[in-house]
Structure 1
Amino acid sequence: METEQKVVVITGASQGIGAALVEAYLGRNYRVVATSRSMKPSDRSDVLAITGDIGDPATAPKVVEQTLQRFGRIDTLINNAGVFLASRFTDYSAEDYARLVATNLTGFFFVTQAVIAAMERQGSGHVVNVTTSLVKQANSKVPSVLASLTKGGVDAATRSLAIEYARSGIRVNAVSPGVIRTPMHEPETYETLAALHPMGRLGEISDIVGAVMYLENAPFVTGETLHVDGGQSAGH
């Protein structure tokens, strides 16, 4: 077990924003714990890849235990894993509800709880939650009550946790993206999705990575939700 380098845990790390965050933190000399349901093993000495469904409450303690065994510390947690499903409210099924609550809320709750316990023992840490701008700026063109219900809960918890742990040396912030160009969206939808933003374009993965890195390097910022959405949260 080596403890000199800082360590980040990233959920939903197998593709898109999560995969880009893995590389960004490696580029800043962090050791990285990358987890998702489809996570492939890594032969890099500074990467611990853990396959698991974050929506299963048993996954979080496994991730934290293996992280501490391998690297001895946790400095940052990025709650990037998330599920989005646009649908009319009355069309959501019980299965839709269970799936979004499991990933977006249950996963967030148990991994953050386990990580903060470890951070509290070491006297420092940082948590970044990835939410959605639809929490603050609903859009009739994108009916998404389940995203607002679940990610809205995470947004509120961000401030609550920031205040609860402010004197414990632990910061908690959120990044609230608009629509980002990731494998989640088909190219034929780009023009329509870009029109949802006042700036008239999609966000890029690098925009979210940059926002996370800003928060990582802002030691006097906690309880903040940083909107990275081309002006979407400001209005239309």
Structure 2
Amino acid sequence: MENKTVIITGASSGIGKEIAKYFIERRSNVVMNSSNEENLRKSYEELGAPSNAVYLAGDISKKVTSEKLVRLALKKFKSIDVLINNAGVFSPKPFLEVEEKDLEFYWNINLKGTYFASQAVIPEMIKQNNGSIINLGTVLVDHAIEGFPASAPLTSKGAIHSLTRQLATEFGKNNIKVNTIAPGIIRSPLQGKIGVENADSLAGLHLLKRIGEAHEVAEAAYYLANSGFITGETINVAGGHTIGHSL
């Protein structure tokens, strides 16, 4: 991935920041995006303000943000090789309490953000006859938890899983690989935002008896970005969450 250009959304914290760090350290050219400019700038500086990275703040649910990211990547690094659609929001809420504004919130950021960003980069990847798009989903799409009602965000994430397969089918002829990473419980600021004070208390959901670390998702993203013969797949980074339970 040296000198390859990677656009990463939601890159100011958690999984997205760790993915950016992983690619930057391996000499990829990285374009970081987040909606919060102050947090994004701070994260960029914490990563050492590397010369092989730039950042652009903007709401990924707005099509214009993705268009700006493409222009910046081409101006600075001359190509777009990988898009990692990491930006997303997630929180539990009982089904009967979900309001229209909740659905719009999750669909705008999770689904429309992924859709518009992919739509913006694919023309450049077609010109190159090569590219990789990596979407962030969740294992909960295929393995729901009764005590964690999250129908609103899950409908948007489920749509992302479906979009992955459709785009892989539509653009395979252009050598564009499209895959989903479905994380389990990963240590990140997300747990605190949804009221989980001790993320490790959720370790029992995984057969490996621990929660995941953000760098383990970054490793999967790097692997998929490098792969030339994997497309349309969902890679679970979940410690066995989806295949069994330990009583």
TM-score range, shorter chain: over 0.9
Name the structure with the higher helix share. 2
Other-structure match for 2:63: 57
Measured after TM superposition, the shift of residue 80 of structure 1 is 0.5
- The separation in 2 between residues aligned to 1:230 and 1:121, in whole angstroms, is 38
Native 8 Å contact 2:81 2:131 kept in 1: yes
Q: Deviations over 1:59-87 (max 9, x none)?
A: 11111112112211100000001110111
Matching of residue 45 in structure 1 with residue 57 in structure 2: no
Structure-2 residue corresponding to 1:216: 225
Identical columns (%) = 39
Task: State the alpha-carbon separation in 2 of the partners of residues 232 and 139 from structure 1.
Answer: 11
1:36, distance to aligned residue in structure 2 (A)? 0.3
Aligned counterpart in structure 1 of residue 106 of structure 2, from 86, 100, 111: 100
Name the residue aligned to 1:26: 24
Check 1:116–1:69 CA distance in 2 against 1; reply closer, same or farther (3 A cut).
Answer: same
Partner in structure 1 of residue 197 of structure 2:
188
SS of 1:18's partner is helix
* 1:1-236 to 2 correspondences below 5 Å: 5-38=3-36, 39-40=40-41, 42=44, 43-186=49-192, 188-236=197-245
Q: Is there any run of 5+ residues in structure 1 with no aligned partner, and where?
A: none
RMSD: 1.6
User: Is the CA contact 2:5–2:29 (under 8 Å) kept in the aligned structure 1?
Assistant: yes
Per-residue CA distance 1:88-111 (angstroms, 9 max, x = gap):
111122222111111101101111
Q: Which stretch of the first structure deviates more once superposed, 66-75 or 193-202?
A: 193-202
Q: Is the contact between residue 103 and residue 153 of structure 2 (CA under 8 Å) also seen in structure 1?
A: no
Q: What code does the residue aligned with 2:215 have?
A: S
Structure 2 residue matching 1:232: 3-state secondary structure: coil
Q: Secondary structure at the match of 2:216?
A: helix
Could you tell me how far apart the structure 2 residues matched to 1:144 and 1:189 are?
Answer: 19
Deviation, structure 1 residue 114:
0.5
Helix, strand or coil: the match of 1:175? Answer: strand
Q: TM-score, normalised by structure 1?
A: 0.93
Contact 1:33 1:47 in 2 (8 A): yes
State the distance in 1 between where 2:120 and 2:225 align: 20
Q: Deviations over 1:126-145 (max 9, x none)?
A: 00011000001111011111
Q: How far is the alpha carbon of 1:216 from its aligned partner?
A: 2.0
Note the residue ranges of structure 2 that are not aligned, 5 or more in a row.
Answer: none
Q: CA deviation at 1:210?
A: 1.5
Q: CA deviation at 1:56?
A: 1.6
Contact 2:107 2:153 in 1 (8 A): no
- SS of equivalent residue, structure 2 residue 189: coil
Q: What SS is found at the alignment partner of 1:165? A: helix
Q: 1:100, 1:121 → 2: CA distance?
A: 32
Q: Distance in 1 between matches of 2:206 and 2:93?
A: 20
The CA deviation at 1:50 is 0.2
Structure 1: how far apart are the matches of 2:34 and 2:203?
Answer: 28
Return the alpha-carbon distance in structure 1 between the equivalents of residues 50 and 218 of structure 2: 21
Q: Give the drift of 1:57.
A: 2.1
